[in-house]
Chain A
């Protein structure tokens, strides 16, 4: 799953550590999500969406999964 987390974080001028602190996850976990090594759970995805005040689908792109379902 692709995501815009890195771009959003840059837009807000936050470091990975600062974002991690706000989400109560480690800097390494923020990095794992940004690089696509880990897809966050639904509660964490909602938390990220709320933090950036954007809908989940505007941050996370599941077009690959959606194609597989179709």
Chain B
């Protein structure tokens, strides 16, 4: 498969899964009754956005596996920057939460969007810029 097709497939999958994720989060948060009984349907609905997260992660894994070595190098650099910064932020915030009771609790849910957001910024403005993976 040509590099252009690999990039096109990656963009299509990530954008599609990203749109599905946003739609699923919005739909589930408005439709699911948090105080309702724990039924199979409710569990399924609560897990629905997670399917799109798995799809996005799978699309990224397939892209990193198939893309040429230079693009892979820059993409991994951007991803590592995003992961390390998010790990540091999550660790610092988690410690502060432990020691300060009044500090607002940051749900673990936010880790994925933060990583993806930072990855986007690193890919667009970091060493990976102009590599076609932004």
Contacts and interface: CB of A to CB of B under 8 A. Distances in A.
Interface string B47-90: 00000000000000000000111110110000000000000000
- Range for the number of chain B residues in contact with chain A: 10 to 19
A29 B68 contact: yes
Nearest to B132: A28
B69 A26 contact: no
Nearest to A23: B68
Contact of B74 (A20, A24, A32): A32
B74 A25 contact: no
Contacts of B71: 25-26, 28-29
Interface in A11-61: 20-21, 24-26, 28-29, 31-33, 37-38, 40-41, 44
Interface residues of A, number: 15
Contacts, number: 43
Contacts of B2: 21, 24
A40 B73 CA distance: 10
A38 B73 contact: yes
B127 A37 contact: yes
Nearest to B70: A29
Contacts of B132: 26, 28
B95 interface: no
A33 B70 CA distance: 8
B21 to A, nearest CB: 27
A17 B32 CA distance: 50
A31 B130 CA distance: 9
Given A26-B7, A26-B68, 16 more contacts: A21-B2, A25-B3, A25-B70, A25-B71, A26-B3, A26-B4, A26-B71, A28-B70, A28-B71, A28-B132, A29-B68, A29-B71, A32-B74, A37-B127, A38-B74, A44-B69
